[in-house]
Amino acid sequence: MEHTQHDSTRNPYYPTNSRSTTYNIDDRLSDSCNRLLWSPTISDDYSQIADARENNRTTIPILPTQSNHYQRLLGRSEPNYPTHINSKNHTNWSTTGETVRHDQELLLNEDSFHGFKSHCDPPFHVHRRTPSILLESLIQKVSTIHLFTMTTTSDNSTSDIPKSIPALIQIQAIRDEELSVVILVEVQHLPHRSTPLFQQIQQLCHTTFSRHNKIMAWGDVISELRLFASFSLFDLSHITNHLNLQTNFTNEWNKVHPHTFECMNRYQSVQDDDKPDDSLICLVNSDDLDNDLYHMDSTSDFTFCMCPDSIRPYKNVHSMWSLKMAIRCTFNTTQDQYIRESPIEYAISDLVALTKLYIYWFCNKFDFLDRNSMDTSTSTSITHHEHTALPLYFILSDSHGKNLQSTITTPYYQIKTRSISGLQWVNTYDYTLCTQNVLNSPSISSILSSATGVLFLIGTNSVRSMPALRIIQQVEAIVNMIRLNHHHIDHLGKITIAATFPCLKVSSCFPTIDLLLNNINLYNQQLEILSRRLGFSFLDFHITPEHLHRDHLHLQHQYKNILHTTIVQYFDSIIAKQIKSPQSQHRTSTAITRRNKRRHEKLKEKQQQHILTRSLSQSWTIPDIKNILKHHAIKFARICSVANHKIRIQFNNTKDQQHADNLISLTFFDDNNFAIWHEQK
């Protein structure tokens, strides 16, 4: 693969738009047909890790092409129709021209489709010259991610080489809707299999293509990777949780765009016609009719579809959507010409297109972070996520939280973590590193809307660049903003902010360690005071300078478990206060009996205060009295006594007593009313 020179301020393994390509003349690889497979080189700013052969380099300029293939396609029209092609090829020739002109029109009227965004990391090239430290960092990154899209690239076959040559594996590790890592594995430029570097690359691929991860591709994942299995970078049997986005997109598109009414009733006119006098009997291949006539519904494809191409571009049940058509129909855009002419950019654009389609069509069906920790059972179709009833706590952290698991589940609650390196309370230069903007992003705002509480592990990047008192003002504004936008987090203790760790990495604002530590101590003191004033919780991890790594900023590896342990213990204590004791939840039968007895005594005292007395003739019996009271919808508690031609009726409340008093006259239970009552029955 060819690699362009790059600016020293950028990722050394990210190709730029330079118009010259650097090759290592002494390090060429040639195949049996003497085709040169150029090995990757390292830029000048990384010359300290290059070997002596890097001194012998030749820069070969990329010359402009003699004829632009894309422009020739734009010029295809009926007047230019070549006479030497047949009618079938003529149709394909014309259709290609119309498609290219339609793409050109989209580019003129709409924004072109771009793979990269500012929040995505630049792509990393993996080959035999990739530094070991970079591979170690990539392995660490992908180990916390469980959702990947992938594509592959192979050199086209020729008459001399009938089989395609595997060239590139493109991988996008998706942490969430806004952050991802793109990795390009150049299989033709791998180190020898006996070297430690190859083992690191192999570990990276094994970590990516594991049973615990979901792998998505435009087509069958296993078929896509089978040609690359011979490089021993991964085990195909470990890829058990994979998803064919092409098939799932087709199903989802058809659900949203069912057949039109006219299309579904296209046979109606034929059925209503009078039958002709003469009949023609034909023998027809029934295999061609099964899918069209016996499986007609509003979503399935069939050959005789009459729907517009805008909603049903494919008319055959066996047709498969192309990725380009899916992008065009979903986003009403297409790739620009430059990306088409740049193989690397084109490959990465296809890769990111998969992710954009996945996010657009399927992300609203279940929480994104849950997919990064989803169950690893084999799945070939997208299923709805079953949301748990456990309380959800969300952690937003800077790079200190990068080693925390993205999802931690306990029997009593669930924790979701989002770690962004360089995150500050307020960053006026990069909005992606500003806490306020991150909280207002759709993905994080969605999590907060269902969160029980939120913990912020932020501050180190802020205290190194601005005074403590100014940061406290920013924190106060952000706390008020959260409570304004998410009323369920407005209660006391729902928001927790951690004390900032010690830091010995000086900055231009604080050029000495003493000045920096004083600013950190002042910030923590004022933060604790602010927590009492605004009613949020203050959490101290009790980190000391002895815990710091030699970079004077992060924790040493052996102390990283302090964060996980302290966080779990903290949320355990919160849940413990909310859970009632087992004694109050599970009463014994003796306790229930005592409680019921007390309730009955209270009710009896209350009923004695609501008694109605009436005269009673000897003709009335207790069953007759109860029946006539029920007949008149009179709610009574009990008939307490019948004596001396008097009846005493108890009620549960004043309202029922007054209702009965209005209906039951003083002569209600005399002999005359008794006779009338029996006649009515």
* pLDDT tens column, 512-522: 999 999 999 99
Q: What is the pLDDT of residue 149?
A: 92
Residue 455 DSSP SS3: strand
pLDDT score, position 202:
94
Q: Is the pLDDT of residue 234 over 90?
A: yes
Pairwise pLDDT comparison (428 vs 536), residue with the higher score: 536
- pTM value is 0.43
Between 399 and 37, residue with greater pLDDT: 399
pLDDT digits (tens, 9 = 90+) for 290-333: 444 434 456 677 767 778 777 788 877 777 888 888 887 877 66
Of the candidate ranges 53-62, 80-89, 652-661, the one whose mean pLDDT is the lowest: 53-62
Out of 3.40.50.10470, 3.40.50.1110, 3.40.30.10, 3.40.50.2300, which CATH number does the structure's domain 392-578 have? 3.40.50.1110
Residue of higher predicted confidence among 224 and 332: 224
User: Residue 6: which pLDDT band, with cuts at 50, 70 and 90?
Assistant: very low
Task: Identify the three-state secondary structure at position 612.
Answer: strand
Whether 147 and 213 have beta carbons less than 8 Å apart is answered as: yes
Question: Can you give the pLDDT at residue 478?
Answer: 92
Q: Which two tokens stand for residue 595?
A: 């409680």
Neighbours of 513 (CB within 10 A): 15
Portion of the chain with pLDDT greater than 70, in percent: 68
CA 532 remoteness from chain centre:
35
More confident of the two residues 610 and 160: 610
Region of poorest pLDDT, from 59-63, 111-115, 385-389: 59-63
What is the pLDDT, as a whole number, of residue 113? 52
Higher confidence at residue 424 or residue 659? 424
CA distance 446 to 431: 19
Q: What is the pLDDT of residues 356-404, one digit of tens each?
A: 888 877 764 333 434 443 333 333 333 333 344 689 999 999 999 988 8
Of the candidates 538, 545, 539, 542, which has an alpha carbon nearest to the alpha carbon of residue 562? 542
* Confidence at 178, pLDDT banded by 50, 70, 90: low
Spatial neighbors of 327 by CB under 8 A, at least 6 apart, are 113, 333, 334, 335, 353, 356, 357
Mean pLDDT computed over every residue of the chain? 75
Q: What is the mean pLDDT of the segment spanning 155-165?
A: 70
- Residue 416: strand pairing partners: 394, 407
Query: In this predicted structure, what is the pLDDT of residue 506?
Result: 93
Domain 114-264+297-384 adopts which CATH fold?
Answer: Nucleotidyltransferase; domain 5 (3.30.420)
Check residue 181 and give its pLDDT.
86
Which pLDDT score is estimated for 92? 67
Task: With H, G, I as helix, E, B as strand and everything else as coil, classify residue 606.
Answer: helix
Q: Average pLDDT in the 13-23 region?
A: 36
* Predicted confidence (pLDDT) at residue 74 exceeds the cutoff of 70: no
Separation between Cα atoms, residue 283 and residue 265, nearest integer Å: 25
Tell me, what amino acid is at 201?
I
- pLDDT given for residue 499 in this prediction: 95
Indicate if the pLDDT at residue 22 is higher than 50. no
Q: Are 217 and 150 in contact (CB under 8 A)?
A: yes
Confidence (pLDDT) at 258:
77
Instruction: Give residue 61's Cα distance to chain centre.
Output: 43
Question: Residues 110, 343: contact at Cβ < 8 Å?
Answer: no
Q: Where are the beta strands (DSSP E) in 386-485?
A: 392-397, 407-409, 414-419, 453-457
* Nearest alpha carbon to residue 522 among 595, 583, 463: 463
What would the mean pLDDT of 428-456 be, rounded to a whole number?
Answer: 87
Spatial distance between the Cα atoms of 394 and 505, rounded to a whole number of angstroms: 28
**Mode of pairing for the β-strands spanning 29-30 and 611-615:** unpaired
Look at residue 476 in the predicted model and tell me its pLDDT: 92
Mean pLDDT value across residues 557-586:
78
Looking at the predicted structure, is the pLDDT value of residue 660 above 80? yes
Q: Give SS3 for 298.
A: coil
| pLDDT at position 363 | 63
Return the H-helix or E-strand segment holding 424.
none
Q: Which residue has the higher pLDDT, 451 or 29?
A: 451
pLDDT at residue number 206: 93
Helix axes 442-450, 468-485, angle to 10 degrees: 70
- The confidence score (pLDDT) of residue 73 equals 61
Residue with tokens 């793109």: 182
Share of the chain above pLDDT 90, in %: 26
pLDDT value at residue 626: 87
* pLDDT band of 57, cuts 50, 70, 90: very low
Fill in the amino acid letter for 57: R
How far, in whole angstroms, is CA 25 from its chain's centroid? 46
CATH class of 602-680: alpha beta
Task: Judge whether residue 263 has pLDDT over 80.
Answer: no
**Tell me, what's the pLDDT at 23?**
34
Contact indicator for 534, 479 with CB cutoff of 8 Å: yes
Q: What is the DSSP string of 368-436?
A: HHHHTT---S--SS--------S-EEEEEESGGGTTS-SEEE-SS-EEEEEE-TT-BS--SS-GGGBHH
* Per-residue pLDDT, 102: 60
Q: What one-character DSSP code corresponds to residue 257?
A: S
- Letter string b/e over residues 113-127, b meaning 16 or more CB atoms within 10 A of that residue's CB: bebbeeebbbbbbbb
| pLDDT recorded at residue 98 | 67
Give the residue among 673, 628, 669, 663 at the shortest CA–CA distance from 647: 669
Question: Which structure tokens are listed for 324?
Answer: 């380009």
CB atoms < 10 A from the CB of 519, how many?
Answer: 24
Lowest mean pLDDT among 188-197, 511-520, 554-563, 571-580: 571-580
The two tokens of residue 65 are 């092409």
Within 8 A by CB and 6+ apart from 654, the residues are: 610
Q: Are 530 and 475 in contact (CB under 8 A)?
A: yes
Select, from the ranges 126-130, 584-588, 659-663, 672-676, the one with the highest average predicted confidence (pLDDT).
126-130
pLDDT of residue 170 exceeding 80: yes
User: Residue 424 class from Cβ within 10 Å (0-12 exposed, 13-18 middle, 19+ buried)?
Assistant: buried
Give the highest mean pLDDT range of 280-289, 308-317, 581-590: 308-317
According to DSSP, the β-strands at 242-244 and 165-174 are unpaired
Q: What pLDDT sits at residue 49?
A: 32
User: Is the confidence at residue 48, as pLDDT, over 50?
Assistant: no
Residue range 235-262: average pLDDT?
Answer: 84
R_g over Cα of the chain: 38
| Residues β-bridged to residue 407 | 416
**Most confident by average pLDDT, 20-24, 298-302, 335-339, 514-518:** 514-518
Q: Would you say residue 208 has pLDDT above 70?
A: yes
The overall longest dimension of the chain from CA atoms, in Å, is 128
In the predicted structure, residue 502 carries a pLDDT above the cut 90: yes
pLDDT value for 99: 66
Tokens 């019921």 — which residue?
596
Residue written as token pair 């609501």: 610
* pLDDT in the model for residue 117: 44
